[in-house]
Structure 1
Amino acid sequence: MTEETKSLRAAMPHGPGTHRAAVLHGPKDLRVEERPVPVPGPGEVLVRIAAVGLCGSDLHYYAHGENGPNVLRAPTVLGHEPSGVVVAAGPGAGHHEPGTPVAVEPAHPCGRCALCRAGRYNLCPRGTCFGSPPTDGALTEYLVAPEGFVHPLPASMDVRHGALIEPLAVAVHAVRRSGIAPGDRVLVTGAGPIGLLVLQVALASGAASVTVSDVAGARLRHAAELGAGTVGAAELTPEPARATALADPDGFDVALDCSGNGGALVGAIRALRPGGTAVVVGNPSAPVTELPLAWMQRQEMSLVTAFRYAGDFPAAIALAGTGRIRLEPLVTASFPLDRADAALTAALTDRSQLKVLVEPGLATASGALSGTRQEGQDRG
């Protein structure tokens, strides 16, 4: 343990060597507990968490105790979209000075398998991810992370908005996989946080126009404000003749489904021009049995999938740093750590919410919350 870490642990506000963490014990059983402050090991840094964005996987674990095949079997700290400030370093870690604001990449590969060596570490079969049981996540005051997965933020960026770099990296990776070229006409189905970030990254990549569809009018208003050329209600029951009322007469060049809805995905595919590309970004909530493969073959369309990111954090941070990607409009509510259960409930039940943040440093006294950082306030 370094002298700096010893001093840090002795100065903890909640007792010597302790900090708070929101621990999920079972469905809707979230408890804020005190735990020992983690100590950074070789090649690791200690990050004081500023904000954590809540994601769909967090909501599945909170509501049901599982997310797809992964099941909560022991108490686990959720959260995989953290930002914060480096406060200490373990042996051999010295690239980030204390006080450096950072976004933390949560998925950590083995680094040895063939996929990792090929640069596709997002597909590593032996990797772990913060907040994916049994690996503890970032709904906590302090977090230890490998230094190579801790990315400095520009001085111009609010460190809290660094919590959106993880979903932005998802969008960057998806657009990179799509092959969007300057002048392309793009369709994005699903105007949640990922869809709104894909919209912006597509425009930054040279798309001539981006059309966005969703079932929620409030989300479509966000899409229009963020640059969508056309917005409209999604068709969740695909029809071979006309998949969406938004369809470009000549068909879209690229369609990215960020909804996870099978009907929306098929509708997006039907809206493509011959030779177009469809990208599966949102996790399908059920098997997509109506996928028109024979029709796609006759049209020689490409179907591409995208999972997480691989080396996309620096590009995401650079884009956000230029101001070409607007992160703040996506943050619709903030909660203190001891109200993490309320944050999860709001994100789970309130369709008007986009990105809900948990901020461990946010004051908890009712009179201390004000303005745009008020607990649970809708900022959309």
Structure 2
Amino acid sequence: MSTNIGVILKDVLDMKIEELPGGVPQPEPDQVCLSMGPVGICGSDVHYWQTGRIGDFIVKAPMVLGHESAGTVCAIGGDVKHLQVGDRVAVEPGYPCYTCSACLGGRYNLCPDMKFCATPPYDGSLCQYYCHKAAFCFKLPDHVSLDEGALLEPLSVAVHACQRGKLSFGQKVLVCGAGPIGLVNMMVAKAGGASVTITDISESRLAKAKEMGADAIFHVTNRDSRETAEEIVNLSGYSDLTIECTGVESSIGTGLWATKPGGSYVQVGYGKAEVNFPIVAVGIREIDIYGIFRYANCYPKALALVASGAVNVKSLITHRFPLKDALKAFELTKAGTGVKVIIDCDN
């Protein structure tokens, strides 16, 4: 096949399924070309579609969407030694410069020259064929599916969040938000030996969280952060580690109030650029606050969690569509229906 069909964001609210220029791409010496399989829709994809920007990342030219992906190697560059045609791989969607202080210090997610799929101006992987740096393509064991490979991306966010918060065995963890990112954080925390309470405003998402192993669920109906925190503490006690996955100001306050003195708090969700939060409570209780931005060196750990059976990411998938119905898949995701929507690029 010489054509390459993809999902292109032309402009705000203008998304098309059409042939990409240039046909099937050819890999550079350090790249592989992939016949793409499943690609998950992330909230960031929807946000770019609806608003054309996330913070300082602004869509200024047509861009292929998608970054939660896996595929099969169909061509390799001349310098690639660890992969061969036919290998099934998960795609870590960003690759850094390798030379800046962040990269050399092992925190390449903070590289100022990061090239990340479906983050302007770089194209994503929601297409039939896609080339990527081979060093950031991870071969899947035979018993790990392409679906699981695609979902290593959100799972790596959770691995990074739990590492930043210094998760340890036996802790009480509070996860604020039972969307896809909240659920993977719940699963990683439980795999690390923690008990998890998870909150949300949606009863259906809380039911899904309970089905997937939450120790306790809490339906948020009160926008008063401190009162909500008191109710959560009455339910399951103060948290050793809180992982906030909504970015909503009231939820941030709740998470901080519900964290024990000397505990840790990780901000995963992004909402408004500036929020109010109880800084005095943070200070006098010595709560350690951590931010996260994507992940670094987490794909091998995420793959190990899936390959060992410690985490079941397939349980996140609620809907799937062929590539030709990608617009329907995006509409479903925008409506908040289900948990994780998958688009099959090979179908």
Give TM-score scaled by structure 1 length: 0.88
Give aligned pairs, total: 344
Partner of residue 258, structure 2: 271
1:33 is the counterpart of 2:24: no
Give TM-score scaled by structure 2 length: 0.96
Preserved CA contact (<8 Å) 1:234 1:244:
no
Partner of residue 81, structure 1: 68
Partner of residue 242, structure 2: 255
How far the C-alpha of 1:286 sits from its partner, in A, is 4.4
Deviations 1:306-345 (A, max 9, x none): 1111000000001011111111121111111122111111
Partner of residue 224, structure 1: 210
Partner of residue 63, structure 1: 50
> 2:117 & 2:181 partners in 1: Cα distance?
19
> 1:133 & 1:319 partners in 2: Cα distance?
31
> 1:19 & 1:242 partners in 2: Cα distance?
50
Preserved CA contact (<8 Å) 1:234 1:264:
no
Instruction: Select the residue among 313, 319, 336 that pairs with 2:322.
Output: 336
Identity %: 38
How far the C-alpha of 1:232 sits from its partner, in A, is 1.4
Instruction: Select the residue among 216, 231, 252 that pairs with 1:245.
Output: 231
1:200 is the counterpart of 2:187: yes
C-alpha spacing 1:240/1:138, structure 2 compared with 1 (3 Å): same
C-alpha spacing 1:153/1:240, structure 2 compared with 1 (3 Å): same
Counterpart code for 2:201: V
SS at match of 1:167: helix
Partner of residue 72, structure 1: 59
Preserved CA contact (<8 Å) 2:35 2:346:
no
1:304 is the counterpart of 2:278: no
Partner of residue 325, structure 1: 311
Counterpart code for 2:138: H
> 2:214 & 2:230 partners in 1: Cα distance?
16
SS at match of 1:18: coil
SS at match of 2:231: coil
Question: Structure 1: where are the runs of 5+ without partners?
Answer: 1-11, 363-380
Preserved CA contact (<8 Å) 1:171 1:201:
yes
SS at match of 1:246: helix
Question: Structure 2: where are the runs of 5+ without partners?
Answer: none
Partner of residue 7, structure 1: none
> 1:281 & 1:254 partners in 2: Cα distance?
13
> 2:273 & 2:222 partners in 1: Cα distance?
14
RMSD: 1.4
Deviations 1:189-222 (A, max 9, x none): 0001111111010011111x10000011111111
SS at match of 2:44: helix
Equivalent positions of 1:1-380 (< 5 A) are: 12=1, 17-35=2-20, 36-207=23-194, 209-234=195-220, 237-240=223-226, 243-248=229-234, 250-289=237-276, 291-349=277-335, 351-362=336-347
> 2:99 & 2:224 partners in 1: Cα distance?
43
> 1:73 & 1:239 partners in 2: Cα distance?
38
How far the C-alpha of 1:237 sits from its partner, in A, is 2.3
Deviations 1:106-164 (A, max 9, x none): 11111110000000000011111111121111110011000100011121122123111
How far the C-alpha of 1:278 sits from its partner, in A, is 0.7
